[in-house]
Every structure is written in C-alpha cells, then in structure tokens.
Amino acid sequence: MKILRIGAKGAEKPALLDAAGRARDLSAVLPDITAKALRPASLATLRALDPESLPLLPDNARIGLPWAGCGKFICVGLNYADHAAESGMAIPAEPVLFTKHTSTMIGCNDPVVIPQGSVKTDWEVELGVVIGTTARYVSEEQALSHVAGYCVVNDVSEREYQLERGGTWDKGKGCDTFGPVGPWIVTADEVADPQQLDMWLEVNGFRHQKGSTRTMVFNVAQLVSYISRFTTLYPGDLISTGTPPGVGMGVKPHATYLKPGDVMQLSIQGLGTQRQTVHAWNPELIDG
C-alpha cells in the first residue's frame, strides 16, 4: 500500500494510491495521515478498504509530506563504503548518527532553497525508514517488525557548514527545505527486502548517483536496533539510512555543488520519484 498526502501546504488531504497509481481521498476514513495512522492496526484498516470506492483526487495536485507529526528525523552518515571513500573518511566501526531538524522536511517536489551565504550545497539520495511501533532496545531479529514503511529522502547538505564551521554535522544538514521526503510511504509488507533496492539521483539530467541498498555498511535491521539503544523510536519517526557514492563533494577533479535553477531528480526502486528545483534564498518559498 502506498499512502500520501495531497494538497496545498497546511491543507493536505490523506490519500492512498489505487492499482492504477491514482490518488484516492481518505478524508472520509481518517482526518489526516499522522504518526498514529502508521501503527499496525490503523494500516490494517486502510489496507482493508476498496480503493475504487474512494473519491479521486486531482492528478496535478501538490504532493505534500506523506505523514504529519514526525517526532525525530535521525540520519546515518558514511553508511556506504564507497561514499566514505569519496568523502576521504574511514568506514565507521559503528553507525554515525546525526539529526536533521523536522523543519527541514518538505514535499517531494517542493522548492529547495539555498541558505544565505552557501557555497557548497550538495545532494544525497537515501532510503527512509518510517517507524510504526515503539522501539526501545530491540534486537536485530525483531527490528523490521517496528517498521511501518519506506520512502525516498533527499538528504540535502551544505558541506561548508557541515565540515568547516567548527563541529557538528547538524549545521549543514538542518537548513530549511533540506529534507524532501516522499512522494509516499510504501508499507513494509510491499517491500520484500529493503536491502535489494536500486537508487539513483540526477542533476540537470546527468546521473551522478547510482547505487543500491545492497552495499550498506549497516543494514536497516541493524540500524533500527542500534538507534533504539540510544533513543526510543516512536511511530512517525524517520531514519534516513545514508547515501551511495556520487555526491557533489566527491566529483573529480573539482567538487560540484548546487546552484539556483538546477533540477534534482531522484528515485528508489519501487518507492517513487522526487523532483526539486533549486532556488536562491527566498523566505517566501520556505514559509509560503
């Protein structure tokens, strides 16, 4: 099942995709797709619906964040060995964790806005893992049972802020609009193996990233288990699991970064496609 939210910012309607890929309005069933709606019982209720009985939503409507009320946006760094190599960093012995502020989160096709003074804004296609049941000190064997579904994430990053401004990665990861998510959540029952998903990202039609979750250093089950030792994971929390090689920072002989007018397009097998246009600093694109 693919669930999403359709409509203008602040006025999104809950929806699911039917067999033909058309968005069906869930408003008569639930007021919104929230963290609570991602729990197993709620998903089972939605799964039992006949999509053909639900009203169609407009084909050209904005796709918003797939769910409302994400409590934590936890990310994993250097989780692909070849990306660590292009970054000039060692393969980690344990997962490298950082957070993105939930205020970074935008719809899959919303504008990405370069921060004031940025010179090194970069792209990263990543597999997102959406939590469906509370996870605290869970085993690797039980970890995937706590996952509601999966989605595409673009972990947009300002490399100067991240690496050259005196400390934590969060500075370069937490800027407004730096977390496009979606277009939808694909529920876990439809993803046979999250470690067998191809992924890619293009900028202006040139394919910079081409990889697979097969080459993760730490797989999804390991990550959910590991993270649950340090913080309780609740329904609606999001884990972004790292990126394969091909980021702008790694382009040889000279790093390449995003500029106004660039168009990013990215996809993960079975999880949909995102497309964002990059804009110069404009608070109206963030708040509007």
Q: Which 8-state DSSP code applies to residue 166?
A: S
pLDDT attached to residue 83: 78
CA atoms of 79 and 192, how far apart (whole Å):
21
Is residue 240 within 8 Å of residue 100, measured between CB atoms?
Answer: yes
Q: How far is the C-alpha of 240 from the C-alpha of 228, rounded, in Å?
A: 14
228 with 93, same domain: the answer is: yes
Identify the residue whose tokens are 């947009």: 156
Q: How far apart, in whole angstroms, are the C-alpha atoms of residue 229 and residue 232?
A: 7
What per-residue confidence (pLDDT) applies to 166? 82
121/136 same-domain check: yes
Q: Are 78 and 95 in the same domain?
A: yes
Identify the residue whose tokens are 């929230």. 34
Is residue 225 within a helix (H) or strand (E), and if so which, with residue range? helix 220-227
Q: Out of 25, 49, 68, pick the residue that ends a domain.
A: 68
- pLDDT number for residue 170: 86
Which of 17, 42, 68 finishes a domain?
68
How far apart CA 8 and CA 5 sit, in angstroms, is 10
pTM for the structure as a whole: 0.96
> Residues of the chain whose pLDDT is less than 70?
none
Are 259 and 280 contained in the same domain?
Answer: yes
Q: Both 60 and 78 in a single domain?
A: no
Q: State the sign of the Cα–Cα–Cα–Cα dihedral 135, 141, 147, 151.
A: positive
Domain limits at 194? 70-287
CA atoms within 13 A on the CB side of 30: 21
Co-location of 63 and 77 in the same domain: no
**Pairwise CA distance, residues 7 & 234, whole Å:** 26
- The pLDDT tens digits for 145-158 are 999 999 999 999 99
Question: Are residue 271 and residue 173 in the same domain, yes or no?
Answer: yes
- Closest residue by Cα to residue 158 from 201, 126, 124: 124
Question: Quick one: pLDDT at residue 139?
Answer: 98
